[in-house]
Amino acid sequence: MSAATAPAVSLTAARQALKRYYGYDNFRPMQGDIIQSILGGQDTVVLMPTGGGKSVCFQIPAVVSEGVCVVVSPLIALMKDQVEALKANGIVAAYINSSVGQSESNDIARAAVSGHLKLLYVSPEKLLSDGFMQFLTRVNVSMFAIDEAHCISSWGHDFRPEYTQLGALRQHFPSTPIIALTATADRLTQRDIKTQLNLHEPQVFLSSFDRPNINLVVRPGQDRLGQMLDFIARHPGDAGIIYCLSRKTCETVAQKLQQKGIKAGYYHAGMTPNQRAEAQEKFLQDDTQVIVATIAFGMGIDKSNVRWVMHYNLPKNIEGYYQEIGRAGRDGGPATAILFYSFADVMSMREMVTKDVPQRQAQLNTAKLERMQQFAEAASCRRRILLHYFSEDLGCDCGNCDICRNPPTTFDGTLLAQKALSASARAQQRVAINLLIDILRGMRNQAVLQHGYDQLKTYGAGQDLPYLDWYSYVHQMLNDGLFYIAYEEGYALKITERGQQVLKGQLPVSLKKFQVAEKAEKPTRAGKKAAAEAAATAAGSPEARLFERLRQLRKRIADEQGVPPYVVFTDTTLQEMAREQPTSRVAMLSISGVGMKKFETYGEAFIEAIMQHGPPRAVPAEDEADDLPSVPPFIDESASKKGAAIKGATEEATIELHRQGLSLAQITQQRGLALSTVQGHLERAYAKGIDLRLHEFLSDSDLAAIAAARAQLGPGAGLRDLFDHLREKYDYFQLRLAGIRAQRGR
């Protein structure tokens, strides 16, 4: 059956797969719409920031659709990580690349042809090699997913020529949906993705590029090592990446960190493949805390618990910077991105990006480097600058960057902005920054006179200001989203909709003078002592101790299985376990990130670790209970044989709301809890003999159908067997309630 004639799959089935395989109750923003588009057979373009959940957007449709999803991925490490994570979730996936032997490749090919495989990862070179495209004609391909799709564009920051040949997919598979995904694509790169892949009227989903959990900081380039050591000391145990410009710097910085007792490694293209693989593996396995690397490291690294990223040198462009800082805080937890900046870096990088490249590419590289320099020197909210670069308006300052926390003085720059915007408009929006400034300052050079710009009404309107002042102000206007640069039109400044509002007097503009940041003060001995005491206090809390215990258990399991620890469970999942302290199957399955497969594989070990840790925190007084998000659940009857049942005020509150007649949705909204948590409360109460309004969840015919299925399967059948046998008609909550009722009825 071809993808074009395959029956439609509902979003409900996709949501059930999300819970079953990934352990999450709901899709993140926009994921549901993207998945619905893909399930509808549409070509789809997905632009979503690193950590935003791009992979789920094609993995879930692949799982619930007939056939095999072929994923084009640029790096072996990325394929390996994603396939390991899929297998850990109970999804059949494989990859074929140069690291896979012929015998194993043949086995994978047979699995793909037979339909046993759901996702097959390949490199673009492998996909386009002789014979592989022919092989795919024997496979029921449900869809093609092109990961890191920005690599297709020469305008992008990571252009790969082999990606430009992927347009051949449309010729060989004209009716098979193609999904293109990337975390970094400006306006021109987005256009190239659609045209070069020959997409048919694609649905384009542009998610917010905002990563509000990342704290953006730019620091002066003096004493970089001292500043790094101070930061790492304040964040003990947190994994981080330091990006350096040269291989030698990587090795030197790593060595100095090691001398200070920090578990640091380095990674660059001058190492052998085995050395790079070993360095990366140690970092992924949490054996190395800090990896010091060139930009050769990182694309597709799925390590979810990277808490900080530092740039020892200025990156070449904003796309690269954005992608690199996006490797921090992928789990949604707080993260920090620190950029060390000096003008000497600009000069070094300018020489690097223009050396031995065609003139057109050198001009493009220089223009993008200048935008990166503007970001580093900015005197306004850094997050707004990043988002404006990707054509997104945050609407207000972010409050989580160094500029927002220590704002510089401002003045009303509306008139200056209107002069610049008017000069650009009267020049038909054809001039670049330097020529615009020449027009404003009334310069009589060849470029101005040749095009008659000296005849414009705005010629000389800003002659009272020196060049450097205008240079700063125009860059601020660019950063504030009043202009954008049309690289394909000689780097001309184009006026945005926001700029038009300013030009018409509908929107005021504040401008700031850039001031070089002072050298960060070295912490005093008393300050260091206070910070150490605060860190020790936080680390000594019961919740923190349990988290550390669970993290050690995760590390042992990961080492035994040869997978990165985050493949077992992410930090955010462990933190929720430490907070909720689940001691039963129901409670553990209520934790975000614990799906059926992972519970069957790891659940009992983590429950045992939680119970061995000691009794959960004390239950608060009744008048305090509702102020807490949750407290530990009851232990079910099987667990109570190991110890006394734990009474939780949060369950009593849920039962009381149920007695008052509130629905599940109303209880979750009023209590601020996940649906699965509320369902767990009701299940445990029902098991203890408390009567529920069972008819709200199951009719008599539903109970009869479930009982008949259970009898047909026999006493050895598990809940998943029952779920599959009934063709996913009932969710696990309903099946568990029916099972409890059957036990109570005997």
**Distance of alpha carbon 258 from alpha carbon 288, whole angstroms:** 11
- The 10s digit of each residue's pLDDT in 348-373 is 788 888 888 888 888 888 888 988 98
**Distance of alpha carbon 563 from alpha carbon 89, whole angstroms:** 13
Residue carrying the six token digits 């003078």: 513
Q: Decide if 527 is inside a domain.
A: no
Judgement on whether residues 362 and 481 belong to the same structural domain of the protein: no
Q: Decide if 69 is inside a domain.
A: yes
CATH of the domain at 228: 3.40.50.300
Judgement on whether residues 237 and 338 belong to the same structural domain of the protein: yes
The domain tally of the chain equals 4
Q: Measured in whole angstroms, how far is the alpha carbon of residue 496 from the centre of its chain? A: 28
Exposed e or buried b per residue across 394-414, where buried means at least 16 C-beta atoms within 10 angstroms of its C-beta? beeebebbbbbeeeeeeeebe
Is 367:318 a contact under the CB 8 Å cutoff? no
User: Quick one: which of 619, 691, 621, 620 has its CA closest to 658?
Assistant: 691
Q: Decide if 524 is inside a domain.
A: no
State the SS3 of 32-69: HHHHHHHHCCCCEEEECCCCCCHHHHHHHHHHHCCCEE
Residue type, 569: F
**What pLDDT band is residue 641 in, cutting at 50, 70 and 90?**
very low
**Distance of alpha carbon 710 from alpha carbon 716, whole angstroms:** 10
Domain boundaries, position 604: 541-692
Judgement on whether residues 392 and 415 belong to the same structural domain of the protein: no
The count of C-alpha atoms lying within 13 angstroms of the C-alpha of 361, restricted to the half-sphere facing its C-beta, is: 13
**Distance of alpha carbon 374 from alpha carbon 401, whole angstroms:** 15
Phi, psi of 22 (to 5 degrees): -110, -20
Judgement on whether residues 174 and 85 belong to the same structural domain of the protein: yes
For the four alpha carbons of 251, 283, 547 and 304, in that order, the dihedral sign comes to positive
Q: Which two tokens stand for residue 299?
A: 């694309």
- The 10s digit of each residue's pLDDT in 103-149 is 888 999 999 999 889 999 998 888 888 788 889 999 999 999 998 88
Exposed e or buried b per residue across 671-683, where buried means at least 16 C-beta atoms within 10 angstroms of its C-beta? bebbbbbbbbbbb
- Higher-pLDDT residue of 57, 297: 57
Judgement on whether residues 237 and 327 belong to the same structural domain of the protein: yes
Is 300:73 a contact under the CB 8 Å cutoff? yes
**Angle formed by the axes of helices 675-687 and 732-745, nearest 10°:** 10
- The 10s digit of each residue's pLDDT in 220-269 is 887 899 999 999 999 888 999 999 988 999 999 999 999 999 999 999 98
First and final CA of the chain: distance in angstroms? 48
| Cα-based angle 137, 84, 578 (whole degrees, multiple of 5) | 145
- Higher-pLDDT residue of 713, 497: 497
Judgement on whether residues 590 and 647 belong to the same structural domain of the protein: yes
Q: Decide if 587 is inside a domain.
A: yes
Judgement on whether residues 578 and 658 belong to the same structural domain of the protein: yes
Q: Decide if 532 is inside a domain.
A: no
- Look at residue 382 and tell me whether its pLDDT is greater than 90: yes
Q: Measured in whole angstroms, how far is the alpha carbon of residue 379 from the centre of its chain? A: 27
What confidence score (pLDDT) does residue 615 get?
57
**Distance of alpha carbon 155 from alpha carbon 186, whole angstroms:** 9
- Look at residue 439 and tell me whether its pLDDT is greater than 90: yes
User: How much is the average pLDDT of 561-577?
Assistant: 87
Is 79:73 a contact under the CB 8 Å cutoff? yes
Judgement on whether residues 322 and 442 belong to the same structural domain of the protein: no
Alpha helices in 121-200, H assignment, sequence order: 124-127, 132-136, 168-172, 187-196
CATH of the domain at 434: 1.10.10.10
308: Cβ contacts below 8 Å, ≥ 6 apart: 231, 235, 238, 240, 241, 328, 335, 336, 337, 338
- Look at residue 15 and tell me whether its pLDDT is greater than 70: yes
Judgement on whether residues 545 and 673 belong to the same structural domain of the protein: yes
What confidence score (pLDDT) does residue 623 get?
33
Q: Decide if 520 is inside a domain.
A: no
For the four alpha carbons of 50, 52, 56 and 61, in that order, the dihedral sign comes to negative
Phi, psi of 601 (to 5 degrees): -85, -45
**Distance of alpha carbon 442 from alpha carbon 9, whole angstroms:** 65
Is 728:13 a contact under the CB 8 Å cutoff? yes
Judgement on whether residues 54 and 194 belong to the same structural domain of the protein: yes
Residue carrying the six token digits 């145990």: 237
483: part of which helix (H) or strand (E)? strand 483-486
CATH of the domain at 626: 1.10.150.80
Is 334:306 a contact under the CB 8 Å cutoff? no
Residue at a domain's end among 405, 435, 460: 405
For the four alpha carbons of 487, 489, 490 and 492, in that order, the dihedral sign comes to negative
Residue type, 392: E
User: How much is the average pLDDT of 389-398?
Assistant: 85
Least confident of 326-335, 561-570, 673-682: 673-682
**What pLDDT band is residue 634 in, cutting at 50, 70 and 90?**
very low
State the SS3 of 365-390: HHHHHHHHHHHHHCCCCHHHHHHHHC
- Look at residue 60 and tell me whether its pLDDT is greater than 90: yes
Exposed e or buried b per residue across 95-127, where buried means at least 16 C-beta atoms within 10 angstroms of its C-beta? bbbeebeeeeeeebbebbeeeebbbbbbbbebb
**Distance of alpha carbon 566 from alpha carbon 593, whole angstroms:** 11
- Look at residue 482 and tell me whether its pLDDT is greater than 50: yes
Q: Decide if 535 is inside a domain.
A: no
User: Quick one: which of 209, 263, 203, 303 has its CA closest to 564?
Assistant: 303
**What pLDDT band is residue 649 in, cutting at 50, 70 and 90?**
low
Judgement on whether residues 555 and 493 belong to the same structural domain of the protein: no
**Distance of alpha carbon 608 from alpha carbon 584, whole angstroms:** 10
**Distance of alpha carbon 446 from alpha carbon 134, whole angstroms:** 59
Q: Decide if 744 is inside a domain.
A: no
- DSSP-assigned letters across all residues of 199-248: -SS-EEEE-----TTEEEEEEESTTHHHHHHHHHHHSTT-EEEEE-SSHH
What confidence score (pLDDT) does residue 416 get?
95
**Residue 201 region by backbone torsions, left for phi larger than 0, else alpha for psi between -120 and 50, else beta:** left
**What pLDDT band is residue 299 in, cutting at 50, 70 and 90?**
low
- The 10s digit of each residue's pLDDT in 40-57 is 999 999 988 777 788 899
Average pLDDT, the chain: 83
- Higher-pLDDT residue of 324, 77: 324
Residue at a domain's end among 206, 235, 262: 206
Residue at a domain's end among 512, 529, 563: 512
**Distance of alpha carbon 161 from alpha carbon 128, whole angstroms:** 12
Question: Coil, helix or strand for 511?
Answer: strand
User: How much is the average pLDDT of 519-545?
Assistant: 54
User: Quick one: which of 26, 24, 16 has its CA closest to 595?
Assistant: 24
195: Cβ contacts below 8 Å, ≥ 6 apart: none
Percent of the chain with pLDDT over 70: 86
What confidence score (pLDDT) does residue 648 get?
45
pTM of the entire predicted model: 0.58
Q: Measured in whole angstroms, how far is the alpha carbon of residue 305 from the centre of its chain? A: 11
- Look at residue 632 and tell me whether its pLDDT is greater than 60: no
Judgement on whether residues 414 and 397 belong to the same structural domain of the protein: no
